[in-house]
Amino acid sequence: KAGVTQTPRYLIKTRGQQVTLSCSPISGHRSVSWYQQTPGQGLQFLFEYFSETQRNKGNFPGRFSGRQFSNSRSEMNVSTLELGDSALYLCASSPRRQGNSGANVLTFGAGSRLTVL
C-alpha cells in the first residue's frame, strides 16, 4: 500500500515569505503528526491532527499552523519565515490518535526540506 506522501520534497523561500507543505497519510490513517528536524535541535514535535481537529501542539510559535481535511490529508503553514525555519519537515500518520491506548506506531514520510534564504 502507498506510504505517507509529502509534497514538495524541496523548496527554497526567502525571509518573510510563507510556505505551505502537504501530507497525504496512509489510507485509513486518521492521525497526522508533524515534526521539524534541524541539525541543532533534532526532531521536534510540532502538532497532531485527528478528525480535522488539532489535538496536541508542541512548543512552537503561532507562525506554525496546520489543518486537516475530511480525507485526512493535512497541510502545515509557516508564515513570516525566518532563517531558523530552515529544516526538514516530517509528517507521520497513524491509525489512532496519539495518547490512546494500544500500540501506536507512526509511519513517516520522506519529508519536505525547506531552505530559507
Q: How many residues bind other proteins (CB under 8 A)?
A: 29
Compute the half-sphere exposure of residue 21: CA atoms within 13 Å on the CB side of its CA. 32
Largest Cα separation within the chain, whole Å, is 43
Distance (Å, rounded) from C-alpha 109 to C-alpha 79?
22
Q: Does 106 bind other proteins (CB under 8 A)?
A: yes
Candidates 26, 90, 114, 116: give the one binding other proteins (CB under 8 A).
Answer: 90
Q: Does 95 bind other proteins (CB under 8 A)?
A: no
Q: Does 4 bind other proteins (CB under 8 A)?
A: yes
Measured from the CB atom, the residue of 72 and 112 that comes closer to other proteins is 112
Nearest distance in Å: CB 7, other proteins? 14
DSSP string for 8-68: -SEEEE-TT--EEEEEEPPTT--EEEEEEEETTTEEEEEEEEETTEEEEE-S--TTEEEEE
Query: Footprint of other proteins on this chain (CB under 8 A)?
Result: 4, 33, 35, 42-43, 45-46, 48, 55-56, 58, 90-92, 96, 98-111
